[in-house]
Structure 1
Amino acid sequence: MNCIIKVVRGDARPRARTAAWRNGAAGIAIAALSAPAMAVAKDGGDANAQAQAVPVQQSDAVRNDGGQDIVVTGHASKKAEIASTGTTSVLSGADLQRQPAVSVVDALARLPGISVAPTDFFGTPSSGNHGGLDGAARGGASFVYLRGLSGSYNVNLVNGANAAQGMPYSRQIQLDLLPPVGIAAIVVNKTSTADMDGDAIGGTIDFRTPTAYDFDQKTHVGFYLQGGLNQTALDYKTPAGSGMAQAEISHRFGADDAFGIYATGYYGKRYFASTMVDFQAGQWEYAVSQGEQGSNPDGFDKKDNLLLTSTNAQFTEGHQTRYGGALGLDWHLGATKLYARGTYAVSDIAQNIYQKGIQADHYSAAIQRPDGLYQNAESDAEYHGWFETAPAQSTLISGVIGGTTEADRLTLNYSGFWSWGKSAAINHAEIGYQTFAGNQLNGPFQVSYRDGYPIPLLSAAQLARLNDNSLFTAEQGSGEYTTSRSTASKLGGRFDATYKVGSWLDALSAGVKFVHSKRNTYSRDFSNLDLVPAGQPMTDSPFVRNQIAAIDRKYYPYTFLRGDGGALTDAARLAAAQVTLSPDDFNKNSLSGTEDVISGYALARMEFERLEIQPGLRFEHTSIDNRFWNMVSGGSASASGVQDGFQTSKSHYNILLPSLHANYRPDEDSVLRGAIWRSYTRPAFFQLAGGSQTTVNSDGSIDITEGNPDLKAVKSWNFDASIEHQHRGFSASAAAFYKALSDYLYDRGTSFRAQQIAQNGVSSISRPVNGGSAGMYGVELSARFQLVDLPGWESGFGVSGNATLQHSWAHLDDAATDHSQQMQGTPNHLYNASLFYEKGPFYANLSYRYNGALIAAYRFGDYGGKELNDTQRATSSVDATVAYTIDQRFKIAAAATNIFDNISYYRTVGPDSDEVPQIVRWGRGFTVTLTANF
């Protein structure tokens, strides 16, 4: 596709202007593959789209701030970004197809200021690694961070409608369920105006689907076919293929094409395989300590004094099935234009994980030194085998219905929307195996390191025992079955009015919005199950399929047995059915609640020749009701009168959000921007009401651990300045930003942060509390240059790239760790660079992506502090794409990802120590794609 930009002076109002605006307000169902909507126009569009008048549909016409109508056909234009009010990045459907990507998340990672992660760092009470290492091994990223702030700080929209946040213990959305097909555009707003939702400290991401008016033909039919291979799976002779098919059709009919319909559907299946290395939780200590296995001595750097006491080599295989569709309806009835948008997306992941572990934590062999300190070591180690399934299901459905009516100077926008999301691990099963004493390590446990991998030092006899799978037998009660499910729904509507005044006061806008949300979460764990007779050799297990020679061909020549995940799940589910959980075990991880948000805003738009100023004020009232389980324990519980049962809590937030945006446009190719606005983020439901545990002590005192309904919302003052320019083959932008956060909450970790607080009549109460202040500043630089002025074929060459440099800090106000640290999830450096050729029917691109290191989780106490924070280390990838267009209807493309087989996920205890690592390698990927349009 080629980009065509049409600028019309004056008051013309072409069809897409309304379509774009209207989209944000209406749409029948969100969830899935084709998720983007329509742009929000400034002087009369649908504010529900919340995209600051960014005109980027495939054939999208909207007014820019200068009152001009811009039509963009094909991939997103830099003109669309320049026309927007604030700092904005745009990806069109054509852009998505140009870059090799497993999902929209991988594609977004190539934009300035955006980092991605395969895990949200926030596990559930019974999830173990499901949200961490296991999720990271699935061959793609799942979560999007804007300027280093996690997805909990973002607003996610589909066709302008708020997407339901189905994650159980955070406000994030697993966006990897959306494949990079069937999407018209993704608009990322890093600044917020008063007509946009205020709970967006990070920014707003709007996914938009096509409409019938986005295609040149009255009737359009398109097909997308893709096939691929995963090299790691191919090397291990496990299923390695992938495939996806999409079909779309659109048609305009009636007088003057007043009616339009667009429909699409897709189905795809992707197999993956990864090698992993992990450490057993808690199986690391200080090499030299005060007291045996004690605290770090004075004068020793914690990060240089670590001793790993377990090594777990792992292999995982599985597949992701995705399917869904989108529907768009438009009615153009003169001054009124109505529309409906709907999408549906499902992702279903089946995953098996195998482990060969050497665990030495129970064999301490500390030696006291002359200085009184202890030199720690391990005299022996146990051999462990382990097989688990790690299922993951995600669904996102939503719809929006609405319209726009123009009456002289007045424009009305109205819409209603609904969204439903699910995140679940319905059938997780696992079983453990262990060798007996005569077949253990039978010697000291020591490791060396190669390329960051911990390599146990094994003799030939020790390795032979480890590789003899008949020596591994099922442990008593080593089976486990868990089922977890979280759902969320959003129902809402909005009404906006814009009055065109004229003169220097160009327009006045005002609007109201209401959103009602529901959440339901549970997680139930059935432990100590006997899935096979105790002592049964692993080789005789009914769950085994075949043996693989090495769990990692380069680092760990340990044999493992591929398992049958379905058979293991069936056995675990059957065993769990024989167990009756106590009310505490059944309900302790259950949480439900409702959230109502009522908001209103007013803004003015003033023009002074080339200067545009937009002051605004927004107010949001939030009311949250939660229901959770109170678990009571202790010998005196019955006498105290404290009872098990469900309890409720309420939380309220009233936030005033002023904003001021100013744009100076010296010419139609350039813009200078400045913005100041306030935004906020509400605490996660889990932090507000994450269950309650009451312990009645023998003396009658009571200890309580609970969520905190009095948590404050995180608030931020945001400052942004940017300059953009585009002319012929050159475009460039530079943005500087600063965020000052108060009442900071860290939203990741396996449990909420608790601080002990004394209360009358209660011995202690522990609940999450707000931290101190936090902040960040940085710059984003982006440029693209093509040699368009050269004659002939040479004019197709070009380069592009972007860089984000940022610095963050957080004052945690917690004595158990360092006071000032870097914010969680905030990398200091992000880079993208590409060399491309684009001329006529041929396109080629060689790209490099660098995701900087970040703090994944803070650590506290003796084994905490900034030296030992869990750190996600920097990763990089080199990818390539080659495409050729045949007679404008057919295009074939081939892509290779991670060409140099770089480490995909690398997490360590400490920011610059390799002693205690988690490592995942996905391997290379290859795809071939055919698209056809008629």
Structure 2
Amino acid sequence: MQSPAFAATRAGPSDTTAATIDAAAIAPDTDDGKETGNTDIVIDGKLRARRQAQTDQLASGSLATIVSGEELRAQPQQNLADLLTRLPGVSSSVDQGYNAAATGEAQYVTIRGLDSSYNAYQFDGVRIAQTNANNRAISMNLLSPFALAEVRVDKAPTAAQDGDAIAGVLDFRTASPFSLPNHYLQVRAQGQVNGRAAARDQDYLGGTAQVETAQQFGDFGIYASAYYGQKNVYGEAVTMHKDYIKYNKNIPGDIRDNLDNAFGRGVAWNVYQNDIKRFGGTVNLEWRSDALNLYSRTTYGEYRLKSWMDQTAIRVVGLSSGQVNPNPGGGDYNADGYAAIYGTGASNYFRTEHSNQRLVTSKLGGDLRLSDKAVVDFYGAYSRGKTEYPFRLQAKYQTPAYIGGTNTGTATFRLVTKAADPIAPHVVLDSAANSYLTNFANFQEVYSIVQFEHVTEAKGEGAVNFTYTLADEGLSAIRAGLKYESADRDSNGINEALEYDFSGANIPTLDKAPGTRVNDFMHGGAQIPLYIYDHDYIEGQARQLSLSKLATVDPNVLNQQKQDGTEQRFSAYLLANLKFGGLEIVPGVRFERNRFEATYWQTESDKSGSVGHFATSTKSYDQWLPSLIASYRPSDTMVYRASVRKSYTRPPFGLLVGPTTIAYDTQLIDNKPVRKIVGMTVPNPDLKATEAWNVDGSVEFAGAGSDFFSTALYYKRLSNVWFATSTDTTLVGISKPGDDAVVLSSNDSSGKGTVYGIEVFARYGLKNLPGLLDGLGIQANLTLQRADATIPITNNLRAKRRMPNAPQVMFNAELYYDHGPVSAWVSYNYTGNKLIDVRTPQPDTYLQPTSLLNLSATYTIGKRLTVGASLQNLLNASNYWATYGEKQTLLSVDRSGGYIETGRTYLLNLAYRM
């Protein structure tokens, strides 16, 4: 289903034959070069743009949604993932494993109940390089709306498009110089204020500037744009400090089987400072003649994030010498089997998640008219992406355990966590405990660790397509094509090898560390004062003590995370177009052969110890993908559609092959750091490609003016299902026994699933309103869906689970006003709860529902200058709330996000056209 309210006139490039071939349904799906001739629509004709969108919708050969760059840029958000959630059937997700939720932006887009790993991503028809090791999702961080002419979401693509798109195809398109007026020039500027940062006396200002131009010189045209944006975002979070344990260990089963028996072990309070920069540009060249069109389009984008997290916590810590745990065996349970935790401490933890992401795509191609009936189009393309974390720092200060009394002998003070308010839990403290745990002189530095990692992929592809038109009725056209892709990937990183542990008599204490205390905190504050280190101090210390160890690290350690790989894909397809009056039928078949080869460091153990060496693995997938699309148009204002197709999703490199990764936790016990293994992830070279049969149907109707109504139904049947999400990778865990079990995680592709849902869209302009009320309208869309799969939870248990990042309810509503030079709108977005992580023996992780209310208004002065203002998140709602289990009762731990707020954002917009 396509939402016309977000569509615009087709301003796409001329590198296809859509405007010249009668069989529009089988025209190339990459870059639609249709010229509308209505350039004033792009400039100042909002209503005419909506009407043109309706025409495009009804004429489309497949189920798709198009949103224009102008419509995107009119919204308060600058992040594409958040912007696209306004479309029916589209939601967003975020990777809190890297603190990304605290930026106030989502990173990934999901379609119709499937995680973004099930999408295919294109930039001007070119497959985007992938830089995530454990899934095939593409981060929207790199794709600024300031660089785009439109975004097309194809939910039921034809056989002419890539087949690894169970959810759909997202194509991000830049402008053609011939779709804009000659000598076109536009400058945009936007200023921002982050309200939460301003309230906390932190950096709060930001802004964006963009310039674009289109110039035509006869048959030759050039389009160029450039943008730069910077903003500061301040976030606050409350989380549980560690996973829950049973309150009564005599009750059988895991914690996930009885959430009422969960017992918390402390609370953490986090503040996040984020400095976000985006910049990039586009240069598109085109040359047109009667028989031959040629084009070149190149886009570069970069996203730079400086992210600092400061955390205070009240938590369980190990006892020191002279302190005695009265529980049997010194454990966490008393003689009756109830939780009784002795050893309460406080910590101050610091982490950076600085990251750089880069993406360049370049495409060179054209189309050639061989005759009145035959056209061939062709292209070669290159895409290169890199994601790196060049300096991930972790440092921690921690108090020795507090046990009550004189703090020696048998412990009497227990760690008890209360959560009457699920988003403001607290630890029960007496005056003596509070005095001890809030004295920064008691906080001793435990460790300083520097880590780094990167993933790079360079992808080349080439394609040729041939279209032959036969007649107006019956078999009207045929289309065939070939495509070849080859991608080279490399990744590496280092985890714990650069850890510096503090010991001896002169351990630094927190009261001597330079920094500032936070002046306030959400929902009643934190029990331990929040302290923000001086960044230069803490990062300089890490470079001196931790990073300096790099020169003496065993060379084999530097190879342990190294992985190189090559992936190749060959595809071919054949389509036909059949016309019988108002009925069009497009049968097609596609074949794709995938092959990959990866080299990685393999460690093997024997009696003499561990031996490491590089190992190589190969794997291939062959897929036959038939499809059938039918469209019936009883009139110019209505269309019925139906489609059946087969599709698949390839497993990513990191889940198939590579080294075992280990997660650690370091505790201070008797003034000595003790490092524990808390989890391991093992790749599975036997993973299969997930396959799906997809059935889609819709009806769309255009009314008077820009009124539009549509309904779509969809069903997907999946086999070989594996859960690997765009957020923290969801793997099937097999846990070893123990209160703090080491979870060994490895993926499994034996699951089966179903997805079904309904999308409804309506836009209606209120009629016959008097005077200034003329121009009011309403718009809404609702998606109801279910996405479930039966997967192995442990070695012996298979169970049905909701598929990750698949909300069951998505709703958008907008009240808009367009009258003369004034445009204004109030928009509301609601996304229901969703599963984000399958765990065992702990409960699964869910995100609670999110809602967002935004206000925007613009005023056009003359025909060239437009000024406006926007307010994002009027209700000051949380942007992330993770819990264990579907209910709100059990707040999640730090790495899953907990409860996060980033406050309101105020924006001032200006655009000038020449």
Shift of 1:213: 1.3
Aligned equivalent of 1:191, options 153, 156, 165: 156
CA offset at residue 353 of structure 1? 0.5
Alignment of 1:616-635 (within 5 A): 616-635=588-607
Residues 22-61 of structure 1 aligned to structure 2 (within 5 Å): 43=23, 49-50=29-30
After superposition, give the CA deviation of every residue in 1:606-653 in whole Å (9 maximum; x if it has no partner).
110000000000000011001111012353447xxxx41110000101
> Residues 475-530 of structure 1, C-alpha deviation per residue, up to 9 Å, x if partnerless?
2xx11000110111110110000000103111000000001011111121234315
Distance 2:653 2:338 in 1: 45
How far, CA to CA, are the matches of 1:56 and 1:484 in structure 2? 47
Partner of 2:184: 220
Partner SS for 2:886 = coil
Which residue of 2 is the match for residue 501 of structure 1?
Answer: 470
Shift of residue 402 of structure 1? 0.6
State the match for 2:267 in structure 1: 311
Does structure 1 retain, via aligned residues, the 8 Å contact 2:12–2:175? no
Does structure 2 retain, via aligned residues, the 8 Å contact 1:632–1:693?
no
Q: Deviations over 1:57-106 (max 9, x none)?
A: 99599xxxxxxxxx985897233222212221111122112321131111
Q: Match for 2:750: what amino acid?
A: G
Partner of 1:914: 889
Which residue of the partner structure matches residue 590 of structure 1?
562
Match of 1:654 in 2: 622
Give the structure 1 partner of residue 349 of structure 2.
386
**Does residue 21 in structure 1 map to residue 16 in structure 2?**
yes
Deviation of 1:400 (Å): 0.6
Are 2:656 and 1:680 equivalent residues in the alignment? no
Q: State how far apart, in whole Å, the 2-side matches of 1:76 and 1:459 are.
A: 69
CA gap 1:156/1:47 in 2 versus in 1, 3 angstroms:
farther
Q: Residues of 2 paired with 1:733 and 1:832: CA distance?
A: 15
Q: Distance in 2 between matches of 1:578 and 1:890?
A: 57
- Matching residue within 737, 740, 744 for 2:717: 740
Contact 1:52 1:86 in 2 (8 A): no
**Contact 1:320–1:348 (CA<8 Å) still a contact in 2?**
yes
Which letter maps to 1:738? Y
Cα 1:227/1:584, change in 2 over 3 Å: same
Task: Give me the whole-angstrom Cα distance separating, in 2, the residues matched to 1:5 and 1:230.
Answer: 30
Q: What is the aligned partner in structure 1 of residue 673 from structure 2?
A: none
- Encode CA deviations 1:141-166: one digit per residue, 9 max, x unaligned: 11000112122111111111111111
Deviates more, 1:522-531 or 1:651-660: 522-531
Whether 1:469 and 2:440 are equivalent positions in the alignment is: yes
- Structure 2 residue corresponding to 1:708, chosen from 684, 688, 693: 684
1:843 offset after TM fit, Å? 0.9
Classify the secondary structure of the residue corresponding to 1:233. helix
User: Which segment is superposed worse, 585-594 or 394-403?
Assistant: 585-594
Partner secondary structure for residue 586 of structure 1: helix
The Cα shift of 1:784 comes to: 0.8
Report the secondary structure of 1:572's partner residue.
helix
Query: TM-score normalized by structure 2?
Result: 0.87
Q: Measured at CA, do residues 51 and 714 of structure 1 come closer, stay the same or move farther in structure 2, by a change above 3 Å?
A: farther
Match of 1:231 among 178, 186, 195: 195
Using the TM superposition, give the Cα deviation of residue 451 of structure 1 relative to its aligned residue in structure 2, in angstroms.
4.9
Give the counterpart letter for 1:680 in structure 2: Y
**Cα deviation digits, residues 779-811 of structure 1 (max 9, x gap):** 011111112554543231011111110012211
1:789–1:162 CA distance, 2 compared to 1 (3 A) = farther
Q: Does the residue aligned with 1:198 lie in a helix, a strand or coil?
A: coil
How far residue 40 of structure 1 moved from its aligned partner, in angstroms, is 12
The whole-number CA distance in structure 1 between the counterparts of 2:180 and 2:332 is: 78
Tell me, yes or no, if structure 1 residue 280 matches structure 2 residue 248: no
| Alignment correspondent of 1:529 | 500
CA shift in 2, pair 1:87/1:744, >3 Å: same
Conserved 8 A contact 2:76-2:872: yes
3-state DSSP class of the match of 2:23? coil
Deviates more, 1:359-368 or 1:87-96: 359-368
The aligned residue for residue 457 of structure 1 is 428
Helix, strand or coil for the counterpart of 1:181?
A: helix
Q: Could you tell me the TM-score, scaled by structure 1's length?
A: 0.86
Separation in 2, partners of 1:176, 1:40: 36
Q: Secondary structure at the match of 2:773?
A: helix
Which structure 1 segments of 5+ residues have no match? Answer: 8-14, 23-37, 62-70, 122-128, 695-703, 757-764
Number of the residue aligned with 2:880: 905
Cα deviation digits, residues 179-213 of structure 1 (max 9, x gap) = 22232111101111010000000100111111211
Q: 1:690 aligns with which of 642, 658, 661?
A: 658
* Counterpart AA for 2:152: V
Among 556, 561, 573, the alignment partner of 2:531 is 561
Aligned twin of 1:411: 375
Which amino acid in the other structure matches residue 374 of structure 1? G
For residues 581 and 240 of structure 1, what CA distance do their matches in structure 2 show? 40
Residues in 2 aligned to 1:482 and 1:369: alpha-carbon distance in whole angstroms: 33
Q: 1:474 to 1:17 in 2, by over 3 A?
A: closer
- Residue 803 of structure 2 aligns with which residue? 823
| 2:133 aligned partner | 168
Deviation at 1:566, TM superposition (A): 4.2
In the TM superposition, residue 687 of structure 1 has moved relative to its aligned partner by 1.2
**1:151 maps to which residue?**
116
Return closer, same or farther for 1:151/1:889 CA change in 2, 3 Å cut-off.
same
Moved more, 912-921 or 398-407: 912-921
Separation (CA, whole Å) in 1 of partners of 2:636 and 2:220 = 34
Once residues 495 and 712 of structure 1 are traced to their aligned partners in structure 2, the CA distance between those partners, rounded to angstroms, is: 29
Distance 1:693 1:395 in 2: 25
Query: 1:755 & 1:656 partners in 2: Cα distance?
Result: 35
Task: Output the CA distance in 2 between the equivalents of 1:41 and 1:872.
Answer: 47
Q: Please, which moves more after superposition, 376-385 or 673-682?
A: 376-385
Deviation, structure 1 residue 460: 4.4
Q: Show the counterpart of 2:671.
A: none
Check conservation: 2:120, 2:165, Cα contact below 8 A: yes
Find the aligned partners of 2:885 and 2:32 in 1 and give their Cα distance.
Answer: 41
Q: Secondary structure at the match of 1:665?
A: strand
Aligned length: 852
Query: Secondary structure, in 3 states, of the residue corresponding to 1:237?
Result: coil
In structure 1, the residue matched to 2:220 is: 259
How big is the shift at 1:855?
Answer: 0.9
* Counterpart residue identity of residue 820, structure 1: K
Determine if contact 1:830/1:851 at 8 Å carries over to the other structure.
Answer: yes
Paired AA for residue 688 in structure 2: K
* Contact kept? 2:11, 2:149, Cα under 8 Å: no
8 Å contact 2:729–2:837 — kept in the other structure?
A: no
1: distance between equivalents of 2:19 and 2:423? 47
Aligned AA (1:258): D
Residues 54 and 524 of structure 1, relative CA distance in 2, 3 Å threshold: farther
Amino acid across the alignment from 1:154: N
Q: What are the residue-to-residue correspondences of 1:719-730 with 2, within 5 Å?
A: 719-727=695-703, 728-730=705-707
Cα pair 2:853 2:872 within 8 Å, conserved: yes
Q: Distance in 2 between matches of 1:313 and 1:40?
A: 61
Q: Measure the CA separation in 2 of the matches of 1:209 and 1:330.
A: 13
Q: Percent identity?
A: 27
Deviates more, 1:569-578 or 1:321-330: 569-578
- List per-residue Cα deviations over 1:834-856 (Å, max 9, x = no partner): 11111221111111111111111
Distance 2:22 2:440 in 1: 67
Distance 1:215 1:51 in 2: 16
Does the 8 A contact of 1:366 with 1:374 survive in 2?
no
Do residues 514 (structure 1) and 484 (structure 2) align?
yes
* Structure 2 stretches lacking a partner, 5+ long: 42-46, 320-324, 663-679, 736-743, 893-897
Letter in structure 1 aligned against 2:394: E
CA RMSD of aligned residues (A): 3.3
* Counterpart pick for 1:895 among 854, 870, 874: 870
Deviation, 1:369, is 15
Pairwise CA distance, 1:178: 2.1
Q: 1:279 to 1:825 in 2, by over 3 A?
A: same
Asked if 1:424 corresponds to 2:399, the answer is: no
Q: Single out whichever of 149-158 and 189-198 deviates more from structure 2.
A: 149-158
Cα deviation, residue 897, structure 1: 1.0
